[in-house]
């Protein structure tokens, strides 16, 4: 395989020809480089000799980790013992050729093995050197930054759930994914800076805690303004009603009437105009004050209707509405199919396994592929990489 063939396996995108060398593990790091792969970069995943721990994480399909596959498809794998001089030399050659070096190893690991950022930039002065960690490169914190730890520390859990049920973890790995997404933005911005201003090497420091704190900005602003510690509010919105989940015959549905006009359309569509005349619900201020009574009235109406009828009726009337979908519903979603958001892995080992597609749609690179290449075998590209990056 020549170098052109090596890079031609990348997904079509604006980062085609860019080489990302990634010392990554588990979720946050691999998710970041998956985003870069979707944008066209070639990813060389540097694993420890025993492999990314995610390779052993369930669920499994034909003996292969589905957890590992969904954030590592399309990448190249080389296993290196970075305490071994010969493997260190291979790593150095990769760094010299790379556009980006990314890592999400424990803080201090790179310095311990002799590869702190300064030495990497000496090997490649134009390198974008990116580090994603739990708490930042300049902070000593021995806490291991799993997603539930970051959610708890960021205060996100304190405002999630119901008032009488205590803190609840968000169902998706939002800490890992948010930090990874911020890092991907930072990497792409740094590559643009390098091209635009011919800038020397750039170091990026993103932490998972900082990233979740950033998405809490509304809560931070509210607390700084009124001094009140926010509590979980369930599915309600304290400033608007109706704004909640309501019970249909077969499933719950989310409905929002953000202004008086939408509330009138809601009542008209469901034939409950009498609610417009009820003094408890005559305007938004009254509805917020009596939101529990209004919810009981709405549940009484909707509980006699299947969710499909409620959705069709309210959507046609222009009222914001959605059934509470299960993951299984996403596979049948015409909306997601039209956006190519459900893709399959092209490998007999993963036949029938689907994952989420690329939410970023670029007109210059139409998103037509309904498949993704399989994840790499551990050290599966070693011979090719060593041959291509001899010097």
Per-residue pLDDT tens digits for 239-270: 999 999 999 999 999 999 999 999 999 999 99
The enclosing domain of 263 has a CATH number of: 3.30.1540.10
**Could you tell me the pLDDT band of residue 368, with boundaries at 50, 70 and 90?**
confident
Mean pLDDT of 374-385: 96
Of residues 139 and 127, the one with the higher pLDDT is 127
Q: Is the pLDDT of residue 138 over 90?
A: no
* Whether residues 161 and 271 fall in one domain: no
Q: Is the pLDDT of residue 306 over 90?
A: yes
Domain count, the chain: 2
**Could you tell me the pLDDT band of residue 219, with boundaries at 50, 70 and 90?**
very high
* Whether residues 316 and 364 fall in one domain: no
In a domain, residue 340? The reply is no
Per-residue pLDDT tens digits for 59-80: 999 999 999 999 999 999 999 9
Tokens of 149: 């730890």
Report the pLDDT value the prediction gives residue 83, as an integer from 0 to 100.
94
* Whether residues 48 and 129 fall in one domain: yes
* Whether residues 95 and 173 fall in one domain: yes
Q: Is the pLDDT of residue 1 over 80?
A: no
Domain boundary (328, 359, 379) is at: 328
The enclosing domain of 97 has a CATH number of: 3.40.50.10540
Report the pLDDT value the prediction gives residue 4, as an integer from 0 to 100.
79
**Could you tell me the pLDDT band of residue 349, with boundaries at 50, 70 and 90?**
confident
Report the pLDDT value the prediction gives residue 96, as an integer from 0 to 100.
97
* Whether residues 12 and 104 fall in one domain: yes
In a domain, residue 227? The reply is no
In a domain, residue 175? The reply is yes
What are residue 89's phi and psi, to 5 degrees?
A: -65, -40
Report the pLDDT value the prediction gives residue 348, as an integer from 0 to 100.
86
* Whether residues 67 and 172 fall in one domain: yes
* Whether residues 138 and 286 fall in one domain: no
Mean pLDDT of the chain: 95
Report the pLDDT value the prediction gives residue 391, as an integer from 0 to 100.
66
In a domain, residue 22? The reply is yes
In a domain, residue 221? The reply is no
In a domain, residue 138? The reply is yes
Report the pLDDT value the prediction gives residue 240, as an integer from 0 to 100.
97
**Cα torsion through 373, 378, 380, 383, rounded to 10:** 140
Give me the half-sphere count of Cα atoms (radius 13 Å) on the Cβ side of residue 248: 21
Q: Which domain holds residue 98?
A: 3-216+351-388
Report the pLDDT value the prediction gives residue 9, as an integer from 0 to 100.
76
* Whether residues 366 and 261 fall in one domain: no
* Whether residues 156 and 303 fall in one domain: no
| Count of CB atoms situated within 10 Å of the CB of 30 | 28
In a domain, residue 223? The reply is no
In a domain, residue 231? The reply is no
Using N-to-C axis directions, what is the helix angle for 174-197 and 208-215, rounded to 10°? 100
Q: What is the pTM of this model?
A: 0.94
The percentage of the chain sitting over the pLDDT mark of 90, rounded to a whole number, equals 89
Q: Is the pLDDT of residue 333 over 70?
A: yes
* Whether residues 322 and 360 fall in one domain: no
């Amino acid at each position: 395989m020549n170098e052109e063939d090596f890079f031609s396996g990348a997904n079509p995108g604006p980062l085609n020809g860019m080489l990302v060398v990634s010392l990554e593990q588990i979720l946050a790091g691999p998710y970041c480089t998956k985003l870069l792969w979707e944008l066209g970069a070639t990813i060389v995943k540097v694993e420890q000799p025993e492999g990314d721990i995610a390779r052993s994480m369930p669920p499994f399909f034909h003996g292969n980790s589905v957890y590992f596959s969904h954030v590592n498809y399309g990448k190249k794998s080389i296993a290196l013992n970075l305490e071994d001089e010969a493997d260190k030399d291979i790593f150095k050659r990769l760094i010299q050729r790379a556009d980006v070096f990314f890592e999400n190893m424990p803080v201090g690991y790179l310095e311990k093995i002799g590869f702190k950022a300064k030495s990497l930039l000496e090997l490649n002065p134009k390198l974008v050197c990116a580090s994603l960690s739990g708490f930042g490169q300049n902070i000593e914190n021995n806490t291991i930054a799993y997603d539930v730890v970051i959610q708890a520390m960021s205060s996100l859990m304190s405002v999630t759930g119901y008032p009488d049920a205590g803190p609840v973890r968000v169902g998706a790995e939002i800490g890992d994914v948010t930090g990874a997404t911020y890092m991907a933005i930072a990497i792409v911005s740094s590559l643009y800076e390098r091209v635009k201003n011919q800038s020397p090497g750039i170091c990026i420091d993103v932490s998972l805690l900082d990233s979740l704190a950033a998405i809490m900005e509304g809560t931070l602003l509210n607390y700084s303004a009124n001094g009140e510690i926010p509590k979980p509010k369930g599915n309600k919105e304290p400033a608007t009603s109706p704004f909640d989940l309501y019970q249909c015959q077969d499933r719950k549905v989310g409905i929002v009437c953000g202004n008086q006009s939408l509330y009138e359309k809601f009542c008209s569509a469901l034939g409950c105009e009498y609610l417009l005349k009820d003094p408890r619900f005559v305007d938004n201020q009254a509805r917020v004050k009596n939101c529990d009574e209004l919810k009981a009235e709405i549940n009484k109406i909707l509980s006699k209707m299947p969710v499909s009828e409620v959705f069709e009726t309210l959507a046609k009337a222009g009222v914001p509405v959605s059934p509470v979908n299960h993951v299984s519903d996403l596979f049948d979603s015409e909306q997601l199919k039209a956006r190519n958001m459900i893709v399959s892995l092209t490998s007999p080992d993963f036949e029938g396994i689907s994952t989420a597609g690329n939410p970023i749609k670029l007109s210059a690179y139409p998103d037509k592929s309904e498949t993704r290449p399989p994840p790499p075998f551990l050290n599966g590209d070693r011979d090719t990489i060593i041959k291509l990056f001899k010097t």
